[in-house]
Amino acid sequence: MNTVFTEATPIKTTDISLKESNGTSGDLRIYDVDPAYVLENTRFLLWTRQNPTEFQELKIGDVSKLTESGFNNDVPTKIFAHGFTDNGHSLKFVMNMRDEYLEREDCNYIAVDWEPLAIPPFYIRATTYSTLVGEQTGNLINFLVEQGADLKDFHVIGFSLGAHVAGKAGATVNGVLPRITGLDPAYPLFSMENTDQRLDTTDAEFVDVIHTNSGLIILGALSFPYNIGHVDFYPNGGTSQPGCGLILSLSIVNLSVVCHHQRAMEYFTESINSPTGFTAVCCDNYQMFQEGGCSSNTNALMGEPTNKTDCVVFYLNTNSESSYAMETSN
């Protein structure tokens, strides 16, 4: 159920001057919130092979609820954090990823459902909430580890603002997460300099990133155009995706932009069980890749099967519709 924000909602605002990462500056309203309020509106929903369609809710510190759930300390745990305007209980992309993981292996699949804190049009407010949601997610992982789970079995995945939730979770855990995957990490109001608020390579042993709508917001892009992981993948150049239509500048709510942005989730979800795989090539830029100048370079699989390599930047092309993975000659 959505929370309706009213004047009674426990939020206070202060005006500060913030230089945005795209080079413009202005006065933005930054929201300070009560962590208890964020915890109240953040849910952790668990699916396993024993309950593949009906979630069980986990609560930080609630041992009895954890014991009664199907959570298994002996299998991998996948945690997914959604982005702005989304939810973690019924969104098609969240459910598709759940189904692919449960088909692939016996695992715990947990969705971080912070829908009441990510409702439109309050994007600025949601960016502030995302940090605290990430802290709560890290606290959940700490709790699960205290109850016998192995930190080495955790993989946190986040889309858009959820990528920064994942990053903050990694910064909060006691120890080092083995892996975080950022799916088109949100760029507006974030910067390269402020790594405390965004996903970066210190948040896990291995951070892999998929860019599908990267660039400046003034050009109709929503995600980071820069490398922020140990390995960054740029399918179809990383800015626009085939089959999604033309990007119109300054069109944040344009359905075309949403399509380009969400392709990161679709590619990753397909990669979980793809018989083809998303083969990418290490290359300095997309033009060089397109011209065949990197054909002899290192290859890597984008998505779930990827691993850390000596190369940071990879390019690949995809099909314009599902199945997106493209057969290669290699």
pLDDT at 33: 74
Regarding whether 120 and 17 lie in a shared domain, the answer is yes
Whether pLDDT at 254 is above 90: no
Active site residue 261: yes
End-to-end CA distance of the chain: 49
Percent of the chain with pLDDT over 70: 87
pLDDT at 329: 61
pLDDT at 82: 98
> Does residue 280 form part of some domain?
yes
pLDDT at 31: 61
Q: Compute the distance between CA of residue 323 and CA of residue 116 in angstroms, rounded to an integer.
A: 33
Q: Which residue has the higher pLDDT, 25 or 250?
A: 250
> Does residue 229 form part of some domain?
no
Average pLDDT of the residues in 267-273: 98
Whether pLDDT at 301 is above 90: yes
Q: Compute the distance between CA of residue 53 and CA of residue 77 in angstroms, rounded to an integer.
A: 17
Active site residue 160: yes
The CA–CA distances, whole Å, from 269 to 32, 99, 272 equal 34, 9, 6
CATH of residue 175's domain is 3.40.50.1820
Q: Compute the distance between CA of residue 162 and CA of residue 80 in angstroms, rounded to an integer.
A: 8
Q: Which of 166, 188, 210 is the C-terminal boundary of a domain?
A: 210
For residue range 147-166, what is the model confidence (pLDDT) as tens digits?
999 999 999 999 999 999 99
Average pLDDT of the residues in 113-125: 93
pLDDT at 249: 55
Q: What is the mean pLDDT of the chain?
A: 88
> Does residue 217 form part of some domain?
no
> Does residue 82 form part of some domain?
yes
What is the count of structural domains for the chain? 2
- Write down the catalytic residue from 203, 211, 261, 271: 261
Q: Compute the distance between CA of residue 183 and CA of residue 159 in angstroms, rounded to an integer.
A: 5
Whether pLDDT at 66 is above 60: yes
For residue range 195-240, what is the model confidence (pLDDT) as tens digits?
999 999 999 999 999 999 999 888 888 999 999 999 999 999 999 9
Active site residue 295: no
Q: Residue 2 in contact with residue 116, Cβ under 8 Å?
A: yes
Say which DSSP state 160 is in.
T
Regarding whether 161 and 16 lie in a shared domain, the answer is yes
- Write down the catalytic residue from 69, 130, 160, 271: 160
Regarding whether 86 and 192 lie in a shared domain, the answer is yes
Alpha carbon 107 to its chain's center: 19
Q: Which domain holds residue 307?
A: 240-330
Partners of 77 in the β-ladder: 108, 154
- Please, what is the Cα angle at 10 between 5 and 14, to 5 degrees? 100
Regarding whether 167 and 27 lie in a shared domain, the answer is yes
pLDDT at 218: 82
Regarding whether 288 and 197 lie in a shared domain, the answer is no
| Band (328; pLDDT cuts 50, 70, 90) | confident
Regarding whether 327 and 274 lie in a shared domain, the answer is yes
Regarding whether 258 and 110 lie in a shared domain, the answer is no
Regarding whether 180 and 252 lie in a shared domain, the answer is no
Q: Which residue has the higher pLDDT, 13 or 222?
A: 222
pLDDT at 248: 64
Percent of the chain with pLDDT over 90: 80
Regarding whether 283 and 136 lie in a shared domain, the answer is no
Regarding whether 245 and 182 lie in a shared domain, the answer is no
- Write down the catalytic residue from 86, 184, 203, 208: 184
Regarding whether 141 and 21 lie in a shared domain, the answer is yes
